[in-house]
Amino acid sequence: MARAFLLVLDSVGCGGAPDAADFGDAGANTLGHIAIACREGRAEEGRSGPLHLPNLAALGLGRAIHAASGLDLPELDAPLTGVWAAATEVSRGKDTPSGHWELAGVPVPWDWHYFPRTDPAIPPEVTESLIARAGLPGTLCNAHSSGMPVLRAFGEAHIASGKPILYTSADSVLQIAAHETHFGLDRLYEVCRIAAEIVHPMRVGRVIARPFVGETAESFRRTANRRDLAIPPPEPTILDRVQAARGQTHAIGKIGDIFAHRGLSTLAKGKDDMALLDATLAAIDTAGDGDLVFANYVDFDTLWGHPRDVSGYARALEAFDARLPEVTRRLRPGDLLIITADHGNDPTWVGTDHTRERVPVLVAAPGLAPGGAGLVGFADVAETVAAHLGIPAGRHGRDFLGHKA
């Protein structure tokens, strides 16, 4: 019996990307800089002391960071119980779809469209078409921004005017924020659907609905009803390939949105990463022979990376690590667990955007001899899963276990 579990810690990069300078990210290292900040006493809010990740360290996290970036972190050294690697991305983007698609075996074959750092950033041909087709009184912001600052700046004006808030980032994305009750959640989703029809032909990767509640700048908060409308991958991913082999695919978190809800058998969501981990455990308990569980834990990225909150990011890593034994204890003979990431989001870095980095790849499986696979490619993750499940190989990677699990 063969089952596979692919867990993506969103934005938990480990530095060292060979093309980081092309993205303005030379020297960025999400895990490395968090560990250094903790060691130096600069991440003491809600936690204290060196970064404590004993379970991830035992799977080779410290070794993966060293292989990726040359950084030695003694606090992440531990007797090895798994197989580690560090993965390099070839897709020309440091965004969520690029990373996940390539991890799923499909590097992005085109250049995404990015809105320029101008004011406005979103051009009139987009906003005017959206206003006309969606029957809107207008739009607000239309510039580069991030989640909570844009709500504090424009939320009250949105409630008063009925104009949704449009903004973008360094990613290929159009985000639309609106109040769940004053504007209406279903109306927001419909506006985003129309926006996707407008910008997807431009190769804008995602339109994201960002609903929020509250009545004042001080009380606004985003809700769990986010919805991503993504361009579908250009060829079959590991999700499609598992289904073609008659396996079931169990998506956790925003995996459905990232893959345009293609190749999914079941989908579970949760209000935060701990709820998503609960959903992952439930999926592991019920997954059958030939099945793939594919999970994304987004809070690392959205709650701590983008706001540049080092302490919060460290707390989230330690909380995940503390619960990791709940996952590994469920592994049965024939199971393969891979823990990885899709890009970086160094909370010590300038700005608020993702950072171009290599990512750790940590493998656990009953009977797997501990060791290191060195530097691999993102697409190698999918091919390792495919080899483990005994399904045909794809076109873009290799089984880096060769196949030992």
User: From the annotation, which residues make up the binding site for Mn(2+)?
Assistant: 10, 301, 306, 342-343, 354
Residues contacting residue 233 through CB under 8 Å, at least 6 positions apart: 101, 104, 106, 259, 260, 262
Could you give the C-alpha distances from 147 to 36, 81, 152, in angstroms and in order?
A: 27, 39, 9
CB 56 within 8 A of CB 73: no
d(CA 96, CA 298): 10
Q: Which two tokens stand for residue 371?
A: 């060791």
CB 314 within 8 A of CB 34: yes
Backbone angles phi, psi at 391, to 5 degrees: -105, 160
Three-state SS for 173? strand
Cite the annotated binding site by residue number: 10, 301, 306, 342-343, 354
Q: Which amino acid would we find at residue 133? A: R
DSSP at 307: T
H helical segments located in 105-202: 124-134, 147-161, 185-199
Rounded (to 5) percent helix, strand, coil in the chain = 35, 20, 45
d(CA 370, CA 60): 9
Three-state SS for 79? coil
H helical segments located in 259-353: 273-286, 299, 310-328
CB 298 within 8 A of CB 254: yes
DSSP at 27: T
Backbone angles phi, psi at 7, to 5 degrees: -110, 120
Q: b/e per residue, 24-60, with b = 16+ CB within 10 A?
A: ebeebbbbbbbbbbbeeeebeeebeebbbbebbbbbb
